[in-house]
Structure 1
Amino acid sequence: MTLTRSARRRLVPVSLVLVGLALAACASPAGRTSEQAGPRGFTEAEQVAGSPITVWVDASRVTAVDAFTAANPDVKVQVETYDGSANGSDSFKTKISLLDRAGSGWPDVVFSTQNNDAAWASVGAGGQQPFAAVLNKGLVKDDLLSGFTKGSLDPCTVDGAVYCLRNDLAQDVLWYDRSLMDQFGYKLPTTWEEYTELGERVAREHPGYITGAAGDPFTPEIFFWPSKCGASGVVGPRAMTVNTTSPQCQRAAQLVDRGVQGGWMTDLSVFSPEFVQKYTGKVLMMPGPAWFAGAIFNNEASLNVPAGRIGAAAPLPWAGEEPATGNVGGGTWFVSSHSKNLDAATRFVDFVTTADDYQVAKAPGYPAYAPAADKWIAGQERSGYYATDLSALTVAAPQVWSGWGAPAFSQEAVWARTMQPLITSRQPLEQALGTWGQAIVDQAKVNGYTVQ
């Protein structure tokens, strides 16, 4: 997540429709061969019963493989670790592109930390068959698919075909330090407007304490996505709508501007040593994803907040509107359309996304599969760490706004280049919303989109 400088530009309205190179009313995009294939939506390789499957995972998901092999000793699994495309490295796509050119060597199952991989893995480049197998045409049972949290499979779905299964969700909630709130005599805000008012009050009455963070490239997913800002409206395999100057985007920009310039929102990355040094014991509130609990608060290498202090509140609505929230991450599992043992590969992704042996007992994040999520929440509450129950996570999971899609490029990278330098230099985001929108359009062109 490298940040570069960007000049301020005056607000220029951007409302553009990006139409894919070959989006047609009744045909799939060029290069997608699934429509020409068998009943499962792709041309299957000759199956070899009992053959080993190769699984690519990041280091954190090796425990998922271990859990599967313990429960399924009849399946031979060969594990290869890679970075999981972490931080937008695009390594998954790069490695598969090389194998496409070679015409062999594809893994049977791949885990990715990104939610935008279905956008490219569902399309065959250069006449190649798409890497991702279609899962909802016979490979994965409908009753299992229906068990995933509402909306959680949206990033995996292209033209009605499901190309991956979500491992975990990263829905935003309002994390807060209940001990500090009680000490200062503050009540939890119930709207974004109240959140802003409380932040400004904190800056006056308790300078040095913060109620939010805007120093990471996922800042728009915490503040702009829940505001229903139309920066990433994916409406087709290669079609988007982009409108970064709407009132919904403007109010989110104003909130962040007021927070950073007023001192009640930090411009430091939550993963930086400076953040830990400056704000340990001084985070009053922080809107953010489910994984903030373990990565930021209950982490000896970060804020290391003692047990019994951190609570979770449901996502904040804007006054007069229904609550909506954003999502920062959450992994995905793919089955390869080239697999010679689809039965074992499908058994693997079924298990690691739904089985209690992994998702409840070992998974670090909130499961996308709803029955496992309920049990995972219960286990987290039994730990005794939290000051409240974690029902806010369950409430937030289906409230992720569907209008923010996952295109074939990293929105976080665009934000990092275009907007993050403005935050660091205390320049107003509101005046650069048009610049941000144009940067999204430009990145779309690089990834094969046309602009009308």
Structure 2
Amino acid sequence: MASQHRRFSRLARSLTLATSVAAVVALTACSGPTGGGDGSDLGFTPAEQDPDSAITVWVDASREPAMEAFQATYPDIEVNVETYDGNASGSGSLQTKIALFDQAGEGWPDVVFSTQNNDASWASKETNGVQAFAAPVNKGWFDQEFLDGFTPGSLDPLTVDDTIYGLRNDLAQSVFWYDQTLFDQFGYEIPTTWEEYEQLSDSLAADHPGYILGSVGDAFLGMMVYYWGAQAPVFQLDGDTFSSDFSAESSQKMTELLDHMVENGTLTKDSVFSADFVQKYQGKVLGMPGPVWFTGALFQNPDSLNVPAGQLGAGTPLHWEGEEIGTGNVGGGTWIASSHTKNLEAVKTLMEFVTSSDEYQVELAGGYPAYADAAEQWIAKQASGGYFVGDFEQTVVDAAGQVWSGWGYPSFSAETAYAKVVLPALAAGDTIESVVPEWQQEMENEAQVQGYTVAQ
């Protein structure tokens, strides 16, 4: 019934939108699809509308089930689905493609999914007289009641000067995942602080070599799980000023912790998505800090760690002793609507469906939905299956409100410098500490290229 009610509400809003869009288009159609500025009461100048036109949607492979569910629910809306890399690992592919369409003055997709939450920083800007690709969603297009349904703070990364340029797909708060069976077998206590985590690594290395407590083999883990989770000020933005401080106490302590655990063998340098990781560590992950979406991507995945039911629990996000919890936000993904679309009604219907519907977010999504109502149902469903042990549900819900707000969202990804500098150093047997100056310099160089002032 809740799902039916939301579909009815969406229909009612669409009918209202049809009237408002018709009026807007009558006033602005002569401006064409590339008109810039705030030429309507939607916060952008819409293209001439064609309500019967198909919409083109770009998604990564993991979001294909969302599109299948949408097409099954709305068979009368014609959708062309194109799969791309999802802008993964800060590839910049989305920005590059959109820039080419801006130059051509045509070809933009109607909706895109991106794994990066910092895309609003560039997608909200006019380029060479072409209005910004991302359409504002809180200037009269989407109902405020719907936008208020998102978990508080979840739309902050997409907000520029009080304007929201997209909708979050899911939240990616980190928790400490643990294998209760192994903890019981080895007689260890589940850590709650980074200090306890490091101490546990020494015991594990001495008593049970071959078992691990995590990985530094992926850029998102290194930056967003560990440094963000440590509240290390290495990726911050204040207006147009970027800063990266590896000399701060929290930054230094995390660097030392990671180097120590790599050396004692409890942090692997293998990517968690590699075949080597699965082959070496299936059944040997005592615990690891990581995002909520690890549930489906790693632990319950038959092609990955495939942890049996009744063993896996979610513990308190690790934090420094005496400090408040400030977990990292490891991805989560964003849906962005194009300001150039010729079918605003269909785009709005799709955007609301993929972010809030039971059919996708509750029944099919692998991560904790950003939309609060869907999140409540998703976590209850996960907890009711008997797969998890401990207070899984409450821990995950609490962590959603514990993401550290000090991390920045500039127009480049925190992952790229880690991948360029840190991963090769680790592969060569070097410490992270030995490449910190080069790593920091790489991020500062990226910031300057993107037009930011770098704090000295």
Q: TM-score, normalised by structure 2?
A: 0.87
Residue 298 of structure 1 corresponds to which residue in structure 2? 300
Tell me the distance in 2 between the aligned counterparts of 1:95 and 1:148: 29
1:390 corresponds to which of 382, 389, 393? 393
Judge which range, 379-388 or 139-148, deviates more. Answer: 379-388
Residue 217 of structure 1 corresponds to which residue in structure 2? 219
How far 1:192 moved relative to its partner? 1.2
Residue 66 of structure 1 corresponds to which residue in structure 2? 68
Say which SS state the counterpart of residue 266 (structure 2) adopts.
coil
Residue 40 of structure 1 corresponds to which residue in structure 2? 42
Residue 445 of structure 1 corresponds to which residue in structure 2? 448
Superposed, 1:127-146 pairs within 5 Å as: 127-146=129-148
Residue 411 of structure 2 corresponds to which residue in structure 1? 408
Do the aligned residues in 2 keep the contact of 1:33 with 1:130 (CA within 8 Å)? no
How far 1:433 moved relative to its partner? 2.8
2:237 corresponds to which of 234, 237, 243? 234
- Describe the superposition over 1:55-89 as per-residue Cα deviations: whole angstroms up to 9, x where unpaired: 22223323222322333344332322222223333
Residue 308 of structure 1 corresponds to which residue in structure 2? 310
Do the aligned residues in 2 keep the contact of 1:115 with 1:330 (CA within 8 Å)? yes
- Describe the superposition over 1:2-35 as per-residue Cα deviations: whole angstroms up to 9, x where unpaired: xxxxxxxxxxxxxxxxxxxxxxxxxxxxxx9976
Tell me the distance in 2 between the aligned counterparts of 1:164 and 1:135: 7
Say which SS state the counterpart of residue 324 (structure 1) adopts.
coil
Residue 9 of structure 2 corresponds to which residue in structure 1? none
Q: TM-score, normalised by structure 1?
A: 0.88
How far 1:426 moved relative to its partner? 4.0
2:96 corresponds to which of 94, 97, 102? 94
1:375 corresponds to which of 374, 377, 380? 377
Residue 113 of structure 2 corresponds to which residue in structure 1? 111
**Amino acid in structure 2 at the alignment position of 1:171:** Q
Do the aligned residues in 1 keep the contact of 2:37 with 2:131 (CA within 8 Å)? no
- Describe the superposition over 1:283-327 as per-residue Cα deviations: whole angstroms up to 9, x where unpaired: 111111112222222222222222211111121221111101112
Q: Which consecutive unaligned segments of at least 5 residues does structure 2 have?
A: 1-33
How far 1:338 moved relative to its partner? 0.8
Instruction: State the aligned residue count.
Output: 420
How far 1:435 moved relative to its partner? 2.7
Residue 165 of structure 1 corresponds to which residue in structure 2? 167
Tell me the distance in 2 between the aligned counterparts of 1:232 and 1:35: 31
Tell me the distance in 2 between the aligned counterparts of 1:61 and 1:204: 42
Say which SS state the counterpart of residue 287 (structure 1) adopts.
strand
Residue 434 of structure 1 corresponds to which residue in structure 2? 437
Select the structure that is richer in helix: 2
Say which SS state the counterpart of residue 236 (structure 2) adopts.
strand
- Describe the superposition over 1:210-266 as per-residue Cα deviations: whole angstroms up to 9, x where unpaired: 112112112121110011111221233x44232222111111111101111122221
Superposed, 1:346-385 pairs within 5 Å as: 346-385=348-387
Tell me the distance in 2 between the aligned counterparts of 1:393 and 1:130: 36
Say which SS state the counterpart of residue 175 (structure 2) adopts.
strand
- Describe the superposition over 1:117-138 as per-residue Cα deviations: whole angstroms up to 9, x where unpaired: 2111111222211100011111
- Describe the superposition over 1:335-378 as per-residue Cα deviations: whole angstroms up to 9, x where unpaired: 11111221221121011101111110111221111110111112
**Amino acid in structure 1 at the alignment position of 2:83:** T
Do the aligned residues in 2 keep the contact of 1:33 with 1:124 (CA within 8 Å)? no
How far 1:390 moved relative to its partner? 3.2
Do the aligned residues in 2 keep the contact of 1:441 with 1:451 (CA within 8 Å)? yes
Residue 399 of structure 1 corresponds to which residue in structure 2? 402
**Amino acid in structure 2 at the alignment position of 1:208:** G
Tell me the distance in 2 between the aligned counterparts of 1:169 and 1:139: 24
Q: 1:128 to 1:153 in 2, by over 3 A?
A: same
- Describe the superposition over 1:391-436 as per-residue Cα deviations: whole angstroms up to 9, x where unpaired: 3221111211111122211211101112223333443323443332
Do the aligned residues in 1 keep the contact of 2:123 with 2:132 (CA within 8 Å)? yes
Tell me the distance in 2 between the aligned counterparts of 1:179 and 1:321: 29
1:77 corresponds to which of 58, 79, 86? 79
Moved over 4 A (4+): 32-36
Tell me the distance in 1 between the aligned counterparts of 2:186 and 2:454: 51
Judge which range, 293-302 or 44-53, deviates more. Answer: 44-53
Tell me the distance in 2 between the aligned counterparts of 1:108 and 1:431: 45
Tell me the distance in 2 between the aligned counterparts of 1:451 and 1:318: 28
Structure number with greater CO (CA < 8 Å, separation at least 6) is 1
Do the aligned residues in 1 keep the contact of 2:37 with 2:45 (CA within 8 Å)? no
**Amino acid in structure 1 at the alignment position of 2:343:** N
Do the aligned residues in 2 keep the contact of 1:203 with 1:263 (CA within 8 Å)? yes
Structure 1 vs Structure 2 CA RMSD: 2.0
Residue 6 of structure 2 corresponds to which residue in structure 1? none
**Amino acid in structure 2 at the alignment position of 1:434:** P
Tell me the distance in 2 between the aligned counterparts of 1:378 and 1:169: 16
Q: Is 2:207 the partner of 1:205?
A: yes
Do the aligned residues in 2 keep the contact of 1:215 with 1:267 (CA within 8 Å)? yes
Q: 1:231 to 1:210 in 2, by over 3 A?
A: same
Say which SS state the counterpart of residue 79 (structure 1) adopts.
strand
Say which SS state the counterpart of residue 244 (structure 2) adopts.
strand
How far 1:37 moved relative to its partner? 3.2
Residue 52 of structure 1 corresponds to which residue in structure 2? 54
Tell me the distance in 1 between the aligned counterparts of 2:148 and 2:241: 26
Say which SS state the counterpart of residue 276 (structure 2) adopts.
helix
Tell me the distance in 2 between the aligned counterparts of 1:287 and 1:60: 22
Judge which range, 142-151 or 160-169, deviates more. Answer: 142-151
Tell me the distance in 2 between the aligned counterparts of 1:115 and 1:303: 27
